[in-house]
Structure formats: structure tokens, C-alpha cells
């Protein structure tokens, strides 16, 4: 196990480029399974989850070549694709569930171990299962795994999702593109990563209308062909750099972003007192004062992203005033709040609300990352705290942030990766 040792007080300044989105590329890899032949994905981030997804695909008979230094994944998908996902790999990562729709569509069967991933809430699968059932799949729960079968193929259906779930929208889309007839999905997720997936599927020959809107109409086709696709920039990584710039009273230019995907978080930063210069594909964030407290309420896109919530709690922890942060997606994301208290932050939670009374100073602490975003939130606190902060279990951070310590160091931050055993 590795840890980060962070020394507080440095201001982040300079330019940082953002890779493709973790939460897109994993689904694009699932989409590649829908077409036999060679699909190439570019702008792929160098993170552990891509390696796990590559191993899962290899277990299905796919020849995967991942070259992180080139940011490329090449997948040669066989005509006779496997349908059982290795349970040990599936437990490492929730995104393994996003292969379910594609596998049922291709093979009429999928065996998916009940997924693991970040410990941030119940994260049910009822919307995935309900949707695929309406499309003709049968489900059987076996110890530790879920078996989906549709021996006669999937058929189009009209579905109104109970909640605009990102994962369920993706799974149902990937099932519908090869289903018999038309599928209408209402109340779908509208995240930029969903639009990215739809762009790739349509380039593979799918017929999907309505990308970015709450309703998708999918005309099933007989077969798809492979493609080459560049992953959409990671708006959460970009938003994290923007928040870090504001936190450290820095001046950072974030490149390779779609700034329109960050409209709301950037507005919150301006309300906090930051100067934000937003170009279509770059953002400059400057801060020369202690932040002002600002309320945040997470909601599905285009609402404020839950994946930026810990970073904005960290900002509020040093802000002038009192802020209320409301988490509407993942009930356990406030585990982060108690870790933040170790820095002397004045925070309390009640259900899905967190109240943060900003303090002018935080004090370095030894804390544990519980998920990828909480992990970066703790690093943010460490960057401004007096003294040294040790963040344990940083494998969570490595899941979402490529070359993290190198990039923080290049911007002037004081951070090093150490072996937990040496602490």
C-alpha cells in the first residue's frame, strides 16, 4: 500500500492538461464488445481501472493492447465473444457491470459478479435489471453473481427510468442498439460521458437519436462495425485542478477540457471569489483571497457533479462563512467529512446535508482515502494545512487521477509518494 506525504503552504501555478474521462473510457471499452473486429480508443487515461477493464475484456477472449504512454487502447473483438466476467476482476470495479448490456446483446447471456468499486452507498442495480427485463432478458441471482439471459434475443421497449442513472442509461443503450425494433428511453442520464458513448455507438452504425436530452430513441440494427474514437476530456479531473487552484490561492491553466461541461462548478468558484477565464477548451483559474463560503447541491448533469462534491467541501473548510453541501446521489460520500475533521475543519453532517464552518487555518493530519474523490479532497486539505499531511490508501486516487503526484509537483505543490510500510 502507498501513501502521499503532502507539505502544506505551496501555491499551485502553471499549466496542466487533462486526459480522457475515466467514466467514459470504461464504457467505451464495453461498447467495443458490440462489434467484432478492431476498435481503437484514443485519449485514454493512464489509470488502474483501464487496466482492470482490459483484463476483464481479455477474459472474454478479446485481444487488448493498452499503451498508456500513447493514451491508446486497441481491442480486437472475436466473433465468438465469451460471456462470463471474471468475478475477482469484477469485484475490483463497479464499471464491470456496464458490460452486461453489451454481452446480453451480443451473446444472449451475461454472467457478471456483483460489482465492487468505491464504498459510497448502496448503488442498486434495479434500474439496469428492470430495463433489461422489459427488453426480454431473464435474471437469476446466483451466489455472488448475476446471470442475465435472452436466448431469443432482446426486443425494443418503451422505458421510463425511475432515476437518470448513468450506469443504467449506458447499459440499456448498449443493449438496445442490437435489439429487435425500437427502444424509447425516457428520463435518461445526460452526462457528457453518455453523449460520448452515443457518438461512438452511432459511428459504429447504431441509430440513436436524442443525445444530451432526457429521451433517447434507439432503432435496433442487425450488427455494428468497429471504429476509432477519442475519449471525451475528463471534466471531473479538470474541475479538481480548478478547485485546487482556488484552494491554494494559485493560478492554473487547465487544458484539453470542454469548459461547457463545467459551467456550474466554475460558477461556484467565481462566487467563491476566483477569477475564471473560460475558453472553449481551456480554463484559467486564479484566486488571490480566502474563498467565500458557497452552498453546493449535487444533482445529475447538468446539475453539480457528485464527483466534485468533496473538493468543494474542502474549499468550504477554509472559506469565510458557513456553507451547506447537500449530497443527493451517494449517501455514503460524507465519510470524507469526518476525515476532514482531523485537519481541524469545523464540519457536521445530518443525513444528506453537511454544514461547513470555514476556518482560516487547517492543521496537517494522517488520514485515509475512502474513495477516489474523497482522496483528492484530502490532498487538497493537505496542500493548505500547516505542516505535513499523510494520506493513506492512495490506490483509490490512482483509480481516477493519472500521474497525480508528478502533475501536482510540476505545478509547485509539495507531494511525494511513499510506501505505507515506511511510515
Q: Which residues are catalytic?
A: 118
Binding of ligand EPU at residue 373 (CB under 6 A)?
yes
Beta strands 228-230 and 37-42, pairing class:
parallel
In 10 A of CB 69, how many CB atoms?
A: 6
Q: Is 168 in the site for ligand EPU (CB under 6 A)?
A: yes
CB of 246 to ligand EPU, least distance (A): 20
Question: Nearest distance from residue 233's CB to ligand EPU, in Å?
Answer: 14
- Does position 239 interact with ligand EPU (CB under 6 A)? The reply is no
Site string for ligand EPU, 57-96 (x = CB under 6 A): -------------------------------------xx-
Report the nearest approach of ligand EPU to the CB of residue 117 (Å): 7
Residue 181 found at the interface with ligand EPU (CB under 6 A): no
Contact between 195 and ligand EPU (CB under 6 A)? no
- Using CB positions, name the residue nearest to ligand EPU: 167
**DSSP states of 374-385 as a string?**
HHHHHHHHHHHS
Instruction: Find, among 215, 171, 220, the residue nearest to 190 by Cα.
Output: 215
Q: Which residue's CB is nearer to ligand EPU, number 6 or number 132?
A: 132
307 near ligand EPU, judged by CB under 6 A: yes
Stretch that binds ligand EPU, among 12-20, 160-168, 250-258, 284-292 (CB under 6 A): 160-168
Task: Determine the Cα angle at 161 with ends 159 and 167, to 5°.
Answer: 110
List the one residue from 63, 163, 289, 417 that touches ligand EPU (CB under 6 A). 163
Minimum CB separation from ligand EPU for residue 33, in Å?
16
Single out the residue of 6, 12, 25, 26 in contact with ligand EPU (rule: CB under 6 A): 26
Instruction: Find the binder of ligand EPU among 220, 239, 400, 413 (CB under 6 A).
Output: 400
| Interaction of residue 160 with ligand EPU, rule CB under 6 A | no
The residues pairing with 7 across neighbouring beta strands, listed in sequence order, are: 388, 414
Q: Is residue 398 a contact residue for ligand EPU (CB under 6 A)? A: no
**How many residues of this chain bind ligand EPU (CB under 6 A)?**
26
Burial of 339 (0-12, 13-18, 19+ CB in 10 A): buried
* Residue 18 binds ligand EPU (CB under 6 A): no
The residue (of 146 and 415) whose beta carbon lies closer to ligand EPU is 146
The least distance separating ligand EPU from the CB of residue 230, rounded to whole angstroms, comes to 18
- Closest approach of Cβ 308 to ligand EPU, in Å? 10
Residue that is written with C-alpha cell 429521451 in the block? 215
302 preceded by a cis bond (ω within 30 of 0): yes
Cβ-based nearer residue to ligand EPU, 123 or 290: 123
Return the SS3 of 216. Answer: strand
Span interacting with ligand EPU, options 6-14, 133-141, 161-169, 214-222, rule CB under 6 A: 161-169
Indicate the burial class of 345 (C-beta count within 10 angstroms; 0-12, 13-18, 19 or more).
buried
Quick count: other Cβ atoms within 10 Å of Cβ 349?
16
Cell (9 digits) for 32: 467495443
Helix and strand numbers (H, E) in the chain are 14, 23
- Residue 359 and residue 347 in contact, taking contact as beta carbons nearer than 8 Å: no
Per CB under 6 A, does 297 bind ligand EPU?
A: no
Beta strands in 223-295 (DSSP E): 228-230, 251-255, 275-279, 282-286
Interface residue with ligand EPU among 19, 29, 86, 118 (CB under 6 A) is: 118
Residue 174, interface with ligand EPU (CB under 6 A)? no
What are the C-alpha distances in Å from 121 to residues 92, 327, 333, 352, 407? 16, 11, 7, 12, 30
Could you say whether residue 128 binds ligand EPU (CB under 6 A)?
A: yes
DSSP state of 369: -
Q: In terms of CB distance, is 305 or 319 closer to ligand EPU?
A: 305
- Of positions 9, 14, 78, 124, contacts ligand EPU by CB under 6 A: 124
Name the burial class of residue 219, with classes exposed (0-12), middle (13-18) and buried (19+) by CB atoms within 10 angstroms of its CB.
middle
Q: Does 333 participate in binding ligand EPU (rule CB under 6 A)?
A: no
The candidate with the shortest Cα–Cα distance to 390, out of 375, 410, 400, is: 375
Place of cell 458490460: 99
**Interface with ligand EPU (CB under 6 A):** 23, 26, 94-95, 118, 121-128, 163, 165-168, 189, 306-307, 329-330, 372-373, 400
Amino acid at each position: 500500500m502507498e501513501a502521499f506525504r503532502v507539505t502544506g503552504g505551496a501555491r499551485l501555478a502553471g499549466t496542466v492538461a487533462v486526459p480522457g474521462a475515466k467514466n467514459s473510457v470504461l464504457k467505451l471499452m464495453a461498447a467495443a464488445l458490440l462489434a467484432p473486429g478492431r476498435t481503437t480508443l484514443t485519449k485514454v487515461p493512464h489509470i488502474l481501472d483501464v487496466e482492470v477493464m482490459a483484463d476483464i475484456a481479455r477474459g472474454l477472449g478479446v485481444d487488448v493492447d493498452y499503451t498508456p504512454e500513447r493514451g491508446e487502447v486497441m481491442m480486437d473483438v472475436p466473433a465468438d465473444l465469451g460471456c462470463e466476467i471474471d468475478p475477482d476482476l469484477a469485484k475490483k470495479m463497479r464499471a464491470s457491470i456496464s458490460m452486461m448490456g453489451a454481452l446480453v446483446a451480443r451473446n444472449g447471456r451475461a454472467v457478471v459478479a456483483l460489482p465492487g468499486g468505491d464504498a459510497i452507498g448502496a448503488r442498486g442495480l434495479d434500474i439496469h435489471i428492470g430495463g433489461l427485463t422489459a427488453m426480454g432478458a431473464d435474471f437469476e441471482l446466483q451466489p455472488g453473481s448475476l446471470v442475465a439471459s435472452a436466448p431469443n434475443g432482446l426486443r425494443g421497449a418503451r422505458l421510463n427510468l425511475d432515476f437518470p442513472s448513468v450506469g443504467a442509461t449506458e447499459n440499456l443503450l448498449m443493449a438496445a442498439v442490437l435489439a429487435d425494433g425500437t427502444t424509447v428511453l425516457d428520463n435518461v442520464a445526460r452526462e457528457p460521458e453518455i453523449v460520448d458513448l452515443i457518438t461512438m455507438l452511432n459511428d459504429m452504425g447504431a441509430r440513436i437519436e436524442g443525445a444530451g436530452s432526457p429521451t433517447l430513441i434507439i432503432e435496433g440494427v442487425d450488427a455494428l462495425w468497429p471504429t476509432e474514437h477519442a475519449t471525451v476530456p475528463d471534466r471531473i479531473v479538470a474541475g479538481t485542478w480548478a478547485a485546487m487552484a482556488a484552494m491554494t490561492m494559485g493560478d492554473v491553466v487547465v487544458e484539453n477540457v470542454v469548459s461547457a461541461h463545467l459551467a456550474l462548478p466554475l460558477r461556484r468558484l467565481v462566487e467563491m471569489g476566483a477569477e475564471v477565464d473560460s475558453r472553449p477548451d481551456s480554463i484559467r483559474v486564479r484566486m488571490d483571497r480566502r474563498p467565500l463560503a458557497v452552498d453546493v447541491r449535487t444533482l445529475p448533469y447538468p446539475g453539480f457533479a457528485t464527483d466534485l462534491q468533496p473538493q468543494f467541501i474542502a474549499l468550504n473548510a477554509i472559506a469565510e462563512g458557513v456553507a451547506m453541501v447537500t449530497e443527493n446521489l451517494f449517501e455514503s460520500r460524507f465519510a470524507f467529512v469526518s476525515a476532514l475533521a482531523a485537519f481541524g475543519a469545523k464540519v457536521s453532517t445530518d443525513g444528506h446535508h453537511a454544514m461547513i464552518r470555514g476556518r482560516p487555518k487547517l492543521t496537517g493530519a494522517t488520514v485515509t482515502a475512502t474513495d477516489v474523490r474523497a482522496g483528492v479532497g484530502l490532498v487538497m486539505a493537505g496542500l493548505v494545512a500547516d505542516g505535513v499531511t499523510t494520506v493513506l490508501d492512495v490506490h483509490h486516487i490512482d483509480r481516477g487521477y493519472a500521474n497525480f503526484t508528478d502533475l501536482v509537483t510540476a505545478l509547485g505543490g509539495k507531494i511525494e509518494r511513499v510506501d505505507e510500510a515506511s511510515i
